[in-house]
Amino acid sequence: MPSVYDFTVRDIDGNPRSLAEWRGKTLLIVNVASKCGFTPQYKGLETLWQDQRDRGLVVLGFPCDQFGHQEPGDEAEIRDFCSTHFDVTFPMFAKIAVNGEHADPLYQWLKSEGKGILGSESIKWNFTKFLVDAEGQVVKRYASTDTPEKIGKDTLARLGG
């Protein structure tokens, strides 16, 4: 059975990173954007990462410009924005497509494994989140409106705490 660990993606510096690097960890994978109404969630995602990473949580941010052109910058601009405005230290990746014929293979898999409301696969907006267990399987999909603070209860439960 395929798992999240079968995928390799480019990090924000353009380097290939195998998600197998985080084998055995609980992952929260999020499509992010710098100019979105949900952008303040960066703060909550960073807090979640800081509070739970020693227990095995890894937050992974994937910038996406498919929703209202809310991530217009290049990777250097995105990295600088996240660092300057939200002190983001969790792993960030190169800008990707999450929907359509050019959707990244990782997101094609995430969407097929963690369907949205009424069985929909399509990502509706920025800051959609996927919770992946330590075996690399999607266990829950969250809407943009689901805050990191709310999700933190689920991640903590997954981590045995």
Q: Give the domain ranges of the chain.
A: 4-158
pTM, to two decimals = 0.95
pLDDT in tens, 48-98: 999 999 999 999 999 999 999 999 999 999 999 999 999 999 999 999 999
Q: Which residue has better confidence, 118 or 20? A: 20
Tokens 């230290």 sit on residue: 89
Among the options 12, 36, 48, 92, which is catalytic? 36
Tokens of 16: 């290939």
Instruction: Domain 4-158: give its CATH code.
Output: 3.40.30.10
Angle 27-91-57 from CA coordinates, rounded to 5°: 30
Strand (E) or helix (H) holding 142: strand 138-142
Q: Which of 52, 55, 54 lies closest to 152, judged by CA?
A: 52
Joined together, the tokens standing for residue 95 give: 């800008």
Is 36 one of the annotated active-site residues of the chain?
yes
List 63's β-bridge partners, or say none: 32
Q: Where does residue 79 rank: exposed (0-12), middle (13-18), buried (19+ CB within 10 A)?
A: middle
**pLDDT at residue number 114:** 84
